[in-house]
Amino acid sequence: MDYKECAENFEQIACVVSMDPLINGDYGDIRIEYGNQAYRDYVDNLGDFYVPGGLYTDYIPKDMNFENLVYKCITEKRPLHSYINAVGLDAWMDINVLPLKSDDDKLGYCLFSFELTPDVDVDKLADISGDTASHVLKTCLKLRETDDFKVAMTSIVRDIGLLCDSSHCCILLTDFKKRVCSVLSEYIREGSGLLPMNTYLGPDFFDIVATWPDTVGGSNCCVVSDDRDMRELSKRNPEWTASLMSAGAESVVLYPLKGNGQTLGYMWAINFDVERTQVIKEILEVTTFILSSEIASHQLYEHMELTSRYDLLTSVMNRNAMNIRIDRIVLGEDTLIGTYGVVFAGIKGLRTLNDNIGHHAGDELIKRAADTLSKIFEGYEVYRAGGDEFLVFCDGISKNYFDKLTKTLRDNYKVDGGVNFAVGSCYGEDGENLRKALKSADEQMYSDMEEFYRKHPGQERRGLLF
């Protein structure tokens, strides 16, 4: 067969690939026997030099997914199609693989053609089987049927686990900067004998996670469906392979979850139905694309909510959250447990520390003050009202206990490394009078602070908060 003519008849990038499919299910070298002009131009743009008959690894890193496509096309003698996110090329790749007749008893041939686009083509991504489309639609609906993101994700992961006939399906969120990871949701088939993922999330587990980007390489996933794949994975990533096998894994498909230019986490299925590998890949390709977007949006929402409610320096609630809470109590939208106490606490001497040592030292004092308040009033609400001032709201507290905690706060400066607070407090019985209680506590704190600054002249002070 004239393989050169076969490749040249294709307008898009195309090459003829040869493989030696061995009898034991393994295979020998995979070579690019001939590439058309579009392929040769593509190789030139990569900075490589095209040589007919060269190993495919002369042009791209070793890729298990590429090898599996070629192997299945040649051994099963059927055309294959795949639309993937080619991470290593920063592009989406529309792939077609066609089996070719071979004049050599020892070698199999196929034609591998592809088209690259910088952005995803939604129409091509949606060009999926009816069963896959039904599952993807179900996933989208589940993401909208509840406001509880974790509940929705847990249900989706369970569905995927059942669809793949998998022993274990999991979404693991990752933070490569902090080198930490956490389980978002997982499904374990009853009777599988597999342990929950948290069993393995020790301090050293991220060392394994850190190997996954190289294992996936320039592809969009890592698929291990038989002993041959597992042997190949063992060569590329012996540490992870050992971990998988010790956990009872015989097959695994791993997909990175990408969003906002970074890896958000990974999704995998262990011990899945290997007879349906291509179908499972199709399902996970589209599903992880959708879930990546949802996870990125959810993390952005959580970050925005965090910054709108919490003080970034101290991690206690901020003035915005304080104002919302007060308004809701006064308007009767939040019901109080019972009687309550409010405390205003200001840090004495912060201005002097900032001027003499610097704002870094002042920030450390503010953080220490927040930690002190959170420990003394553990279980109650601590807010940073602004600058050096904090509000503590104690709902459902007895007067004796409230007075005891307030005294502990006033005496904190006597403790080694303690913070010297100006303190104002008030005990109340109903939400309607909350603003009066706040005003009284604020005035007391202000008076305490004024006394301090009279004894330490030269410092300026803000006015009352309420």
pLDDT per residue over 215-224, tens digit each? Answer: 998 788 999 9
pLDDT above 50: residue 462: no
Q: Which of 87-96, 105-114, 320-329, 399-408 has the lowest mean pLDDT?
A: 87-96
- Of the candidates 280, 421, 411, 241, the residue with the CA atom closest to the CA atom of residue 347: 421
pLDDT above 80: residue 281: yes
134 vs 281, higher pLDDT = 281
Determine the pLDDT at residue 422: 95
Pairing status of strand 421-428 against strand 340-347:
antiparallel
Residue 296 near residue 184, CB atoms below 8 Å: no
Our separate counts of H helices and E strands in the chain read 16, 15
**Residues β-bridged to residue 100:** 109
Query: What is the band of 84 on the pLDDT scale with cuts at 50, 70, 90?
Result: confident
Q: If you search the block for the tokens 């008893």, which residue do you land on? A: 105
335-349 pLDDT per residue, tens = 888 899 999 999 998
Query: Is residue 175 helix, strand or coil?
Result: strand
Determine the pLDDT at residue 466: 53
Highest average pLDDT, of 14-18, 44-48, 260-264, 460-464, comes from 14-18
The dihedral over CA atoms of 58, 64, 69, 72, expressed in degrees to the nearest 10, equals 120
pLDDT above 90: residue 22: no
Signed CA dihedral, 276, 282, 288, 291: sign only:
negative
CA dist., res. 413 & res. 420, Å (int): 4
Determine the pLDDT at residue 24: 66
pLDDT above 60: residue 166: yes
* Global pTM exceeds 0.85: no
What is the full DSSP assignment across 24-73? TS-EEEEEEEEE-HHHHHHHHHTT----TTEEGGGTS---HHHHHHHHHH
Determine the pLDDT at residue 433: 86
Residue 339 near residue 396, CB atoms below 8 Å: yes
Q: If you search the block for the tokens 């190997």, which residue do you land on? A: 211
Look up residue 402 and give its two tokens: 């409230």
Pairing status of strand 340-347 against strand 381-386:
unpaired
pLDDT above 90: residue 59: no
Sequence letter at residue 377: F
Determine the pLDDT at residue 60: 83
Domains of the chain listed by start with CATH number: 3-118 (3.30.450.20), 128-305 (3.30.450.40), 319-455 (3.30.70.270)
- How confident is the prediction for the chain on average, in pLDDT? 89
pLDDT above 80: residue 21: no
Determine the pLDDT at residue 359: 86
405 vs 247, higher pLDDT = 405
Average pLDDT over residues 397-405: 96
**CB neighbour class for 138 (10 Å; exposed up to 12, middle 13-18, buried from 19):** middle
CA dist., res. 142 & res. 150, Å (int): 11
- Of the candidates 178, 173, 83, the residue with the CA atom closest to the CA atom of residue 132: 83
28-42 pLDDT per residue, tens = 899 999 999 999 998
CA dist., res. 286 & res. 156, Å (int): 13
What is the full DSSP assignment across 242-289? HHHHHTT-S-EEEEEEEETTEEEEEEEEES--GGGHHHHHHHHHHHHH
**CB neighbour class for 45 (10 Å; exposed up to 12, middle 13-18, buried from 19):** exposed
Look up residue 79 and give its two tokens: 């055309």
Q: Which of 171-185, 302-316, 377-391 has the lowest mean pLDDT?
A: 302-316
Average pLDDT over residues 58-82: 88
Average pLDDT over residues 95-114: 92
Residue 194 DSSP label: P
Query: What is the band of 83 on the pLDDT scale with cuts at 50, 70, 90?
Result: confident
Sequence letter at residue 341: G
pLDDT above 90: residue 440: yes
* Beta-carbon contacts of residue 351 (< 8 Å; ≥ 6 apart): 459, 460
Count of positions (residues) in the chain? 466
pLDDT above 60: residue 461: no
HSE, CB side, 13 Å, CA atoms: give it for residue 300: 8
112-143 pLDDT per residue, tens = 999 999 888 877 776 666 677 777 778 888 88
Question: Both ends of the chain: CA-CA distance in Å?
Answer: 90
